[in-house]
A and B are shown apart, each in its own frame.
Chain A
């Protein structure tokens, strides 16, 4: 296993303000997430959880403030950090329905960093029986497992997860909890938008109007 902290060991949000259209989602959000930490992102529907994840991934430009990535040798260039150090798991999983689960996993593992951990990922999420199936034939939970397998197949330090547990069954939720804890133990970082608490201790970040 790689030691993730040797690449990115801190994510800093500096007085971040996000707007969608004319609407201000939140302003002056300042927060840091360090190696080995998980943060649960909470907030009402439409409060800006997904937008915050997309801003960290570089898809949304903040109205003001900035997102910074720090490594052991000081601040990292945001473009490099995003291209090599960040996983995004969103509702739209980018899986092509006409291709088989195996083809899709193999492609994404290669695209995001290599196939060294591919077998581990397949075993962990119990995907072996699904690899030959077309993605269109998978259930929502099976599809989510396939999307999650990318996180393990191509090891990267920072995981941005948008409601990762939603379609999973009880056993898989427990499994994902273990996987996330193992990632943190390796020096990884997790920022997860959730409605139910994660099955291990996390820091909490509430976005939007105070609850």
Chain B
């Protein structure tokens, strides 16, 4: 009990320790990601040219799906065991709780996936010089996935089959991230200007980070009443 810091630092430590336990944490997401990377060549056939042409697209689409896996539990356990009630009684408030939870989710599952993404893309036949851009784009996209996904997780609180609802709410909002992320990498691969797509990806993520915590907090309050 010697750890230092104020309430927000304490919450962040708690969320990190729970995120690693939540539904297998980063291992589950990375395992799923690796599974798709292994199955895709078997389904698509061994022609390297064809695999290389879908490599980046497949990497990003799978990234979106892998980050959905542990999102469902983001608020649910705290909601079920009463912790969400008590969290809302802290001075920082539920908006901060939501933001810290998403940030921890991003670091615990988004960051490991961003490390795995270039490896998967290269294994599928993408050019190795794409790796840095794929890493940056998937790291950014992961930030958006966890904040936007958090809205779905909060809205589905208290419903049965919450996971299905999360997917239905969240996947349409994931599309810009996948389009701009894969678009930036594709542009770079084809020698075009890739900066605008990456900038749009960043803008979308920042917008999500700024607005999503308010939506999550309102959705949680609604579920608690």
Give me the interface of A with B, judged by CB distance under 8 Å. 54, 57-61, 82-84, 86-88, 90-96, 98-99, 102-103, 105-108, 110-113, 115, 118, 131
Contacts and interface: CB of A to CB of B under 8 A. Distances in A.
Interface of B: 1, 3, 5-7, 9-11, 13-14, 17-18, 21, 77-78, 80-93, 221, 224-225
A83 B1 contact: no
B225 A59 contact: yes
Contact of B17 (A57, A99, A102): A99
A96 B91 contact: no
A110 B10 contact: yes
Nearest to A96: B18
Contacts of B80: 92
B224 A59 contact: yes
Contacts of A99: 14, 17-18
A54 B89 CA distance: 12
Contacts of B225: 59-61
Nearest to A150: B86
A90 B83 CA distance: 10
Majority secondary structure, B binding face: helix
Contacts of B13: 107
B90 A111 contact: yes
Contact of A110 (B5, B83, B93): B5
A59 B85 contact: yes
A95 B81 contact: yes
Given A84-B91, A86-B89, A94 B81 contact: yes
A102 B81 contact: no
Contacts of B7: 110-112
B18 A113 contact: no
B78 A111 contact: no
Nearest to A59: B224
Contact of A88 (B3, B89, B92): B89
Nearest to A102: B1
Contacts of B9: 110
